Amino acid sequence: MGKTLRQSRSAAVLASISLVLAVSIPGAPRDSSPVKRILVLGDSLSGGFGLSPRQAYPALLTEKLREAGKFEITNASQTGGTTADGVQRLPAHLKRRVDIFILELGINDAFRGVPIPEIRSNLQRIIDLTKGRNPNVRIIIAGMHLPNYSADDYVFAFGQLYADLAAKNHAALIPYLLESIGGNPNLNQPDHIHPNAAGQMILAETVWRVLEPIARDLATGRGGSPEPPAGD
């Protein structure tokens, strides 16, 4: 992201973090209810750049999910990820059922000055692909804002596109993923861009506020996607 994007890309040995954590209810070994699957498609914010994968918020959510039901998280986030490469990376992760989809992409596009219509189109394509394979998937969109470099149309339009996409697709919205983290030196790494371990803990709480009611709803059997058909 930002001025560290080149370093991030060169550090792309982190490439695609596919962290799968199965979470089941303790003390209920006879529970035969199916595991619900959560897919996170994001960039370095969700991938936990500079940290252990287990310090990234998707892994931190597993403890909270343990109280809600039986869930499995796949963190398919990539350092330097853009909406365009998200479109390319997504199909490999749709070969298995997805019950909850957390979409966190776009800020790297904005730092590169990608036109807003192109960012919106790519994000919509990602949503359409996911729904095409999982008609009942519950979608959570992680909103992002650009620093207020200037009150220009691009900055406003970028912040607004997430709310517009959420409304159009009947998705849940995290208004601003970095709420209370962005610009706080105590919660970011020395690059002032990527959250540190403490910042990732706050990210987990921010996401959980939106994810919890959806997870609990699915755990009771209301909603969820059928297993996708075999094929590529």
Can you tell me the distance from the alpha carbon of 79 to that of 81, in angstroms, rounded to the nearest whole number? 5
Active site includes 44? yes
Number of domains in the chain: 1
Active site residue 194: yes
Rounded percentage of the chain residues whose pLDDT exceeds 90: 73
**Catalytic, out of 44, 46, 77, 225:** 44
Number of other CB atoms surrounding residue 36 within 10 Å = 25
Check 24, 85, 121, 191 and give the catalytic one: 191
Which pLDDT band, with edges at 50, 70 and 90, does 42 fall under? very high
**In this structure, is residue 123 part of a structural domain?**
yes
Asked if residue 118 is part of any domain, the answer here is yes
Q: What is the CATH number of the domain that holds 143?
A: 3.40.50.1110
What integer is the mean pLDDT of 10-28? 38
Residue range(s) defining the domain that contains residue 185: 15-21+33-219
Tell me the whole-structure pTM to 2 decimals.
Answer: 0.84
Domain membership of residue 94 (yes or no) is yes
Is 99 catalytic? The answer is: no
Residue 228 · residue 90 · CB < 8 Å: no
Task: Single out the catalytic residue among 8, 46, 194, 225.
Answer: 194
**With DSSP H G I counted as helix, E B as strand and the rest as coil, what are the percentages for the chain, rounded to 5?**
45, 15, 40
